Amino acid sequence: MSKLRCHISISLDGYVAGPNQSEENPLGEGGESLHDWVVPLAAFREAHGGEGGEANPSTSVFEEANANIGAAIMGRNMFGPIGGGAWDEQWKGWWGDEPPYHYPVFIVTHHPRESVQMKGGTTYHFVTDGIESALDQAKKAAGDKDVMLWGGGDIARQYLAAGLLDELELHVVPILLGGGSRLLDNTNVRLEQIRAVEAPGVAHLKYRIVP
Amino acid sequence: MSKLRCHISISLDGYVAGPNQSEENPLGEGGESLHDWVVPLAAFREAHGGEGGEANPSTSVFEEANANIGAAIMGRNMFGPIGGGAWDEQWKGWWGDEPPYHYPVFIVTHHPRESVQMKGGTTYHFVTDGIESALDQAKKAAGDKDVMLWGGGDIARQYLAAGLLDELELHVVPILLGGGSRLLDNTNVRLEQIRAVEAPGVAHLKYRIVP
């Protein structure tokens, strides 16, 4: 059965973004360091149309996390730095004309907007009737494959707290952000450890959410 | 050089004890589960004068964490459930006549008390002039060996925040406690990941504190 999976980088003190998030600083102060483990990977660069990079034990974690995905969900704040207002129809995400997704992406928002078709198989759909509806639509679109919950932290926390998430992989980065957006506050779910992987500058901890 | 090392069980949401700690419930509500990974180990049982138990990848982590220790530090609340008053001279810790330490243990407290010698090489010393003094005394007592910071969470946080800790190993347990004592709040240190070990029901994440 199709699963809802989330993998997200998190500081050792539990933040998925640092304090004082802003348009210039979408991951908050110090939050850029959360991605220091993934940016050097050849697998990451290739997925984003780049070249070069290295292979290390994070490579297979990264590849596995992104495999067998048929659709995705993301929060409005991850899609664009547009704040609370209506959509700027010119804004088509951070990822250029050919985004690295190649599947339908359902964006949870309060503001309706027509779907936007991009090159390479990515279509952005805007869902205004809540996280359960977004999940239903994404699962239908994914078919036999899984649905990726890309984040950010707020929407990941909502799906987790609602008991709708099936798998959570945390990329635990050895930094202390001291404030910001905490993923695991106010959630009450049962977890089962699937695995832990050591890699340079990060530990990958994967959990199943027990229904 | 002698190092100050701490290893401590922590929930995935960052708590080293659950909410509403009390004399009956020193690890707070749900906090007992933090030790589910260690209690079944034969190595743990043997260290505490018991028998039986199992071996798994946590065994070598447990043995290494407890090796090469010449003295230890603990907070008053870990030594006994005596609250804020003066010492009850009858109280000699939780660990019986022959505690599993076999080295000097320095207890940080506001209330003076004469040292107490136990069987098997453990002596309890009571330090009333602060965490730095306790560390100085413990390092002298440890000689070439390291000093173990046993906890609880409050004193571990104090040493960490003061930049006095050299190594921190977190036994990350897949539970969410939702409240209680958080180890990594209000600390601002630089960490370097030493290793991550997968074991049944726990992930062992070891860090060096960069001076």
Phi-psi region for residue A28, left (φ > 0), alpha (ψ -120 to 50) or beta? left
Q: How far is A198 from chain B (nearest CA, A)?
A: 5
Q: Please give the angle made by the CA atoms of B18, B20 and B23, to the nearest 5 degrees.
A: 105
Find chain B residues with C-beta within 8 A of A163's C-beta. Answer: none
Give the per-residue pLDDT at B25. Answer: 84
Whether B13 and A13 lie within 8 Å, measured CB to CB: no
Strand A181-182, strand A15-17: pairing: antiparallel
Helix (H, G, I), strand (E, B) or coil at A136: helix
Return left, alpha or beta for A50; rule: phi > 0 is left, psi -120 to 50 is alpha, else beta. Answer: beta
What's the complex ipTM? 0.93
Q: Write out chain A residues lying below 8 Å of B203, CB-based.
A: 193, 196, 203, 205
3-state secondary structure of B178: coil
Q: Cα dist. A102→A68, A185, A195 in Å?
A: 12, 32, 28
Distances (CA, A) of B182 to A183, B153, B155, B157, B171: 15, 7, 11, 8, 14
Per-residue confidence at B83, pLDDT binned at 50, 70, 90?
low
CA-closest candidate to residue B75, choices B183, B191, B186, B205: B183
Picking from A81, A92, A41, the residue whose alpha carbon sits closest to that of residue A64 is: A41
Q: What pLDDT, on a 0 to 100 scale, did the predictor assign at position A83?
A: 64
- Residues with Cβ < 8 Å from A140, sequence gap 6 or more? none
As a whole number, mean pLDDT of residues B33-39 equals 97
Query: What are the distances in angstroms from CA B153 to CA A56, A162, B192?
Result: 35, 30, 21
> In terms of CATH architecture, what is B4-210?
3-Layer(aba) Sandwich (3.40)
What angle do helix axes A153-161 and A131-142 make, rounded to 10 degrees? 90
Q: Report, as an integer, the average pLDDT of B85-112.
A: 92
Please give the pLDDT value at position A34: 97
Read off the pLDDT band of B164 (50, 70, 90): very high
Q: Kindly determine whether residue B196 and residue A196, on different chains, have CB atoms separated by under 8 Å.
A: yes
CB contact under 8 A, A201 and B186: no
What pLDDT score does A82 carry? 64
Distance linking the first and last C-alpha atoms of chain A = 14
Q: Which one of 3.40.430.10, 3.40.50.720, 3.40.50.10860, 3.40.50.10540 gives the CATH number of domain A4-16+29-82+93-210?
A: 3.40.430.10
B192:A202 CB<8 A: no
Among the partner-chain residues B189, B203, B207, the one whose CB lies closest to the CB of A193 is B203
Q: What is the 3-state secondary structure (H, E, C) of B96-116?
A: CCCCCCCCEEEEECCCCCCCE
pLDDT band at B82 (very low <50, low <70, confident <90, very high): low
**Nearest-angstrom CA–CA distance, B32 and B30:** 6
Structure tokens that stand for B97 in this block: 């006549």
Global confidence as pTM: 0.94
Q: Which residues of B touch A172 (CB under 8 A)?
A: 172, 205
In which band, very low, low, confident or very high, does the pLDDT at B166 lie, cut at 50, 70 and 90? very high
Which residues of chain A make contact with B202, given a CB cutoff of 8 A? 193
At residue B94, what is the residue type?
Answer: W
What count of other Cβ atoms lies within 10 Å of the Cβ of residue B54? 13
Is residue A62 within 8 Å of A38, Cβ to Cβ?
yes
**pLDDT confidence of residue A69:** 97
**Angle of the B131-142 helix axis to the B153-161 helix axis, nearest 10:** 90
> In this structure, are strands B181-182 and A104-108 parallel, antiparallel, or unpaired?
unpaired
Q: What is the pLDDT of residue A9?
A: 97
Q: How many residues does chain B have?
A: 211
What per-residue confidence (pLDDT) applies to B21?
86
DSSP string, A27-87: T-TTGGGGGTTTTTBHHHHHHTT----B--THHHHHHHHHTTEEEEEEEHHHH-S-TTS--
Closest by Cβ to A203, choosing from B13, B184, B196 = B196
Chain B residues within an 8 Å CB radius of A14: 13-14, 184
In chain B, the N- to C-terminal Cα span, in Å, equals 14
Rounded average pLDDT per 10-residue block, chain A, 211 residues = 95 95 86 96 91 97 96 93 79 92 96 96 97 98 97 92 97 96 92 98 98 89
Q: Give the closest-approach CA distance of B159 to chain A in angstroms.
A: 16
Say if residue B85's pLDDT is above 80.
no
pLDDT value at residue B86: 85
What does the domain layout of chain A look like in residue ranges? 4-16+29-82+93-210
Two tokens at B159?
A: 């040493």
- Residue A54 token pair: 């290295």
Residues B185, A12: C-beta atoms closer than 8 Å: no
Q: What element of type H or E holds A133?
A: helix A131-142
Q: Across the interface, do A12 and B178 touch by the CB < 8 Å criterion? A: no
